[in-house]
Amino acid sequence: MPALACCVDAAVMPPSYALAWEGSLPASAAVPVSLISGAPPPPSAVDAGSHWSPSHSSSLYKVDGWGAPYFVVNSSGNISVRPHGRSTMSHQEIDLLKIVKKVSDPKSSGGLGLQLPLIVRLPDVLKNRLESLQSAFEFAIQTQGYEAHYQGVYPVKCNQDRFVVEDIVRFGSSFRFGLEAGSKPELLLAMSCLCKGNPEALLVCNGFKDAEYISLALLSRKMALNTVIVLEQEEELDLVIDISKKLSVRPVVGVRAKLRTKHSGHFGSTSGEKGKFGLNTFQILRVVKKLKEAGMLDCFQLLHFHIGSQIPSTSLLTDSVSEAAQIYCELVRLGANMQVIDIGGGLGIDYDGSKSAESDISVSYSLEEYSTAVVQSIRYICDRRNVKHPVLCSESGRAIVSHHSVLIFEAVSASVPAAPDMGSLGLQSFLEALTEDARADYRNLEAAAMGGEFETCLFYADQLKQRCVEQFKDGSLGIEQLAAVDGLCELVSKVIGSSDPVRTYHVNLSLFTSIPDFWGIGQLFPIVPIHRLEERPGVRGILSDLTCDSDGKIDKFIGGDSSLPLHELEGSGGGRGRYLLGMFLGGAYEEALGGVHNLFGGPSVVRVSQSDGPHSFAVTRATPGPSCGDVLRVMQHEPELMFETLKHRAEEYCGGGGGSSSGVDTDDDDHGMATNNNHNHNMNNNSALASSLARSFHNMPYLVVPSSCSLMANGGGGFYYCNEDDYNAVVDSSSGGEDEQWSYCCA
C-alpha cells in the first residue's frame, strides 16, 4: 500500500500517528515522501551529504557581485569587510561577527553592552569611496585632455549624521570636496562643517527657498564660504537680488535646468520637462534678462541638472550631459560668467550584483566608465562651441555613502509548520462528526491515495477542508475536529511535496525605522547571514519584523527571489545560538527616512576603523539606540511625568499594606518588630517597582535576550520568558541604580 494511503486509511493507520496535541509530527510522518513511487521531492530537499564551502555561499548570495570590493565571505564562513577596497591586505580584513561580539558582549566580559539591532559605520570604506570617485574623474580628465578639474559635493540629505558629514569634509579637503544642502537645517550644518574644510569647496544650495534660506546662504558668502544659490523657481531670483543688495553681498547664482532627457525607471519619474524642480528654457532666459538688468549677470556661474537617481547606463548619461552642455554653452554666449556644470546625482550602485541596465537596483557601468562618459561628453560639446571647459561637479551621495554602513539584526524565532496527526480512534471520532458529503470527500481522498493520484488527492483534501470549515462556522463541528482536518490536509500536502516550504523568520527589527525604502518604494537591498556561511542553508524564509503591521515583512530579495536561503536556528544562548543577518548598501537615505512606527526607534550605532590590533579593528565611537523614553518624547509625551504617574499607581496598588494581618495578639515589642519588618519590606518592594519602571523607560524598545532568558519556539510563535527564580530576584531586589544593566522580558 502506498505510504500516502497509510496517512488516510483508518484501517491501517500506524500507531505512531496517534493524535498528539502537545507534540509535532513524529519522524515517521516525514518519511512517506520517499516511499511514494513517482512523487516529486519537496522543493526544500537538499543533499545533506554534498560538500558546502564559504565560496558556495558567496555565489549563492551574490556577495562577489554587490559586495565588491568591500565585502567578502571569509574562510570561517563569516562576512568580512575590506575597508580599503582593492588595496586591503589580508590582515586588514574585519570580521563582522567579531564586531558584533565586541559590541554586544556585556561590559563585564570586555564588551560594550550595546543592544541589537546595530548599525556599523566604516569610515575607511567612506574614505575609499570618496577617493575612488575623485580618482576616476581625475583619470578621465587626464586621459581625455580636459582642461578643468573635478570637485564634487556630497548631498547631505543622503545621510545627515554628524560624523558622516564631518568625515566627508575631512577626507575630501585635499581635493576641494564640498557639500550640498536642500533645506535650512541642512544649510546650517553644511556651513558649520565647511568652516573646517577647504575654502574652495563648493556649498551648493538646492531646494525651495524663502528669504531666510537665501539670507543664510548670502551670510555664508560673507563668511568666506564658496556658496552657490541654485534657483529652483524663477521667483527665488527676486529675493536673491533684493537681499543681496541689503546685505551688500555679491551672490553666486546657478540655475537648475529641466532637461528633456529622462530615464523611465522609478528614480527618473521626477525628471524631464514635467519634473518637480528646475527651470525650463524660457524661464532660464528670463533669469539671464533679470540678472543683466540688475547688473549681476557676472553672478550667474553654475548650471545644475538632475535626471534621477540610479542612472542605468552611460548612453543615457551621455544624452543628458550633452543636452546640459549645450545649455551651458548657450549661457556663455548670452554673457553669463559660467564656471561650473553640476551634473547632479544619478551615479548608481549595483544593489544585486547583476550589472544590468534593465533594473532599478543595478547599473551597467563602473566609476571609471561613468566619469569618462561625463568628461568626454562635455569636452566634445565645449570644443565644438569653442567654450572653455567648465569645472565639473557631481552630487553623488548614494554612491559615496551606501557601502560604508551595515545594518545587523538578529532572527529570534522561526515558524515551523506543525500539525496534529490522528490515530485510528481519533480518525473514527472525526469521521462520525462529518456530513455525508464530507465523508464522501474523505473516501475519495483515500481512493486517490491508494492509486497514487496526487493531484486528485489535493483536490479532495481541499474540498474536505472547506466543508469542515463551513460545518465549524455553523456550529456542527468542534475545534478538535477542525484542527484534525487541518492536520490531515497539511500532512497530505507535505507527503506529496506541494506544501509551502517557506518559513517566516521573526527578526528583532522595525522595517519602517531601518529599511523604510523597502516598504515605501520597493527598494531591494542585499540581506545575508553574516556567519554560518560555511554551512549549506537548509530552508528558505521571509523576514517578519516586530511591528504590529502586516507590511512589516521582507518577502522580496535581490535576484527576483520571494524568499531567502537561511539556516535552521540553533538553540539559545552563546554565540552559536544567535542567528545574525546583515543588510548591506543601506548607508544612503534609510536613516534619514526612518520613522518611529510602533514607537521603535533607531538601532545602536558604532563607528569601526581598521587598526593593527589583534582583530584588525577598533571601535572609535559607540552610541546606544534611542530608549523608550526617547521615542515617547518624539511624539510629545513626557516620560518623566509618565514615570511619576506609574510610580504612584504602583505604590498604591502593588506596594502592600502595613501592620499585622495574622489576627493573633502579640506583645508590643514583637508587634513593633513586625511593623518595622513589614515597613522595610514594603519600601523594598516600592523601590524595586520604581526601578523596574525607570529601566523600562531607559531601555531600547527592541527585544532583549538576557543570558538568563530562553527563547522558545512553539509552532513558530516565538516568545521570551524568564525562569521563576530570575523573576523573583528582580521583584525582591531593593537595589536599582539607574546605571545598572537591567533586562525586561516580554511575552
The answer on pLDDT for 445 being more than 90 is no
Residues above pLDDT 90, as percent of the chain: 60
Query: What pLDDT score was predicted for residue 733?
Result: 38
Amino acid (one-letter) located at 747? A
CA gap 94, 530 in Å, rounded: 12
CA gap 119, 409 in Å, rounded: 9
- The pair phi, psi for residue 226, each rounded to 5°, is -85, 70
CA gap 139, 87 in Å, rounded: 18
The answer on pLDDT for 305 being more than 70 is yes
- Catalytic amino acids? 548
DSSP state of 22: S
Query: What pLDDT score was predicted for residue 91?
Result: 93
Lowest model confidence (mean pLDDT) among 156-165, 258-267, 277-286, 289-298: 258-267
Residue 665 burial class via C-beta count within 10 angstroms: exposed 0-12, middle 13-18, buried 19 and up? exposed
Query: What pLDDT score was predicted for residue 729?
Result: 38
Query: What pLDDT score was predicted for residue 674?
Result: 55
| Segment 239-272, tens digit of pLDDT | 999 999 999 999 999 999 999 887 766 666 666 6
Give the three cell numbers for residue 422: 490522528
| Segment 378-413, tens digit of pLDDT | 999 999 999 999 999 999 999 999 999 999 999 999
The answer on pLDDT for 421 being more than 80 is no
CB contact set of 615 (below 8 Å; sequence gap of 6+): 94, 95, 98, 102
Which CA distances in Å does 114 have to 624, 679, 714? 6, 38, 28
Query: What pLDDT score was predicted for residue 431?
Result: 77
Average pLDDT over the chain, rounded to whole?
Answer: 83
Q: Would you tell me how many other CB atoms lie within 10 Å of the CB of residue 142? A: 10
The answer on pLDDT for 274 being more than 90 is no
| Segment 482-498, tens digit of pLDDT | 888 888 888 788 777 76
CB contact set of 9 (below 8 Å; sequence gap of 6+): 1, 446, 449, 450
Please report where in the chains the cell 566634445 appears, as a residue. 380
Structural domains in the chain?
Answer: 51-122+403-415+503-653 (2.40.37.10), 124-398 (3.20.20.10), 424-496 (no CATH)
Give the three cell numbers for residue 653: 496598588
Query: What pLDDT score was predicted for residue 262?
Result: 73
Lowest model confidence (mean pLDDT) among 67-81, 293-307, 322-336, 721-735: 721-735
Residue of 2, 5, 31, 7 lying closest to 17 (CA atoms) = 7
Three-class secondary structure of residue 503 per DSSP = strand
Query: What pLDDT score was predicted for residue 89?
Result: 95
| Segment 116-155, tens digit of pLDDT | 999 999 999 999 999 999 999 999 999 999 999 999 999 9
Lowest model confidence (mean pLDDT) among 64-68, 166-170, 257-261, 271-275: 271-275
The answer on pLDDT for 659 being more than 90 is no
Is pLDDT larger for residue 502 or for residue 499? 502
| Segment 207-244, tens digit of pLDDT | 999 999 999 999 999 999 999 999 999 999 999 999 99
| Segment 527-576, tens digit of pLDDT | 999 999 999 999 999 999 999 888 899 999 999 999 999 999 976 443 45
Is pLDDT larger for residue 683 or for residue 277? 277
- The pair phi, psi for residue 410, each rounded to 5°, is -120, 135
Query: What pLDDT score was predicted for residue 337?
Result: 97
- Enumerate the H helices of 412-502 as residue ranges: 424-432, 436-450, 454-473, 479-496
Answer left, alpha or beta for residue 434, where phi above 0 means left and psi between -120 and 50 means alpha. Answer: beta
Query: What pLDDT score was predicted for residue 15?
Result: 32
Contact status, residue 217 vs residue 205, Cβ threshold 8 Å: yes
Q: Would you tell me how many other CB atoms lie within 10 Å of the CB of residue 92? A: 18
What size, in residues, is the chain? 747
Q: Would you tell me how many other CB atoms lie within 10 Å of the CB of residue 564? A: 24
Query: What pLDDT score was predicted for residue 323?
Result: 96
Give the three cell numbers for residue 396: 553623488
Amino acid (one-letter) located at 509? L
The answer on pLDDT for 10 being more than 90 is no
CA gap 275, 260 in Å, rounded: 10
Amino acid (one-letter) located at 675? T
Contact status, residue 72 vs residue 80, Cβ threshold 8 Å: yes
CA gap 433, 426 in Å, rounded: 11
Lowest model confidence (mean pLDDT) among 100-114, 292-306, 434-448, 730-744: 730-744
Element (DSSP H or E) covering residue 643: helix 639-654
Query: What pLDDT score was predicted for residue 31?
Result: 30
Residue of 87, 84, 82, 61 lying closest to 72 (CA atoms) = 82
Amino acid (one-letter) located at 355? K
Orientation angle between helical segments 436-450 and 454-473, nearest 10 degrees: 160
Give the three cell numbers for residue 274: 514635467
Query: What pLDDT score was predicted for residue 253?
Result: 98
What are the strands, taking DSSP E only, across 24-172? 71-73, 79-81, 94-95, 118-121, 153-155
Q: Would you tell me how many other CB atoms lie within 10 Å of the CB of residue 614? A: 7
Query: What pLDDT score was predicted for residue 450?
Result: 85
Is pLDDT larger for residue 38 or for residue 553? 553
CA gap 171, 177 in Å, rounded: 8
Is pLDDT larger for residue 659 or for residue 386? 386
Contact status, residue 389 vs residue 378, Cβ threshold 8 Å: yes
Element (DSSP H or E) covering residue 55: helix 54-60
CB contact set of 200 (below 8 Å; sequence gap of 6+): 151, 176, 226
How many helices and strands, by DSSP H and E, does the chain display? 25, 23
Most distant CA pair in the chain, distance: 112
| Segment 337-379, tens digit of pLDDT | 999 999 999 999 999 999 998 888 999 999 999 999 999 999 9
Query: What pLDDT score was predicted for residue 183?
Result: 95
> In the predicted model, what is the mean pLDDT of residues 453-478?
90
Burial 491-501 (b: 16+ CB within 10 A, else e): bbbbbbbbbeb
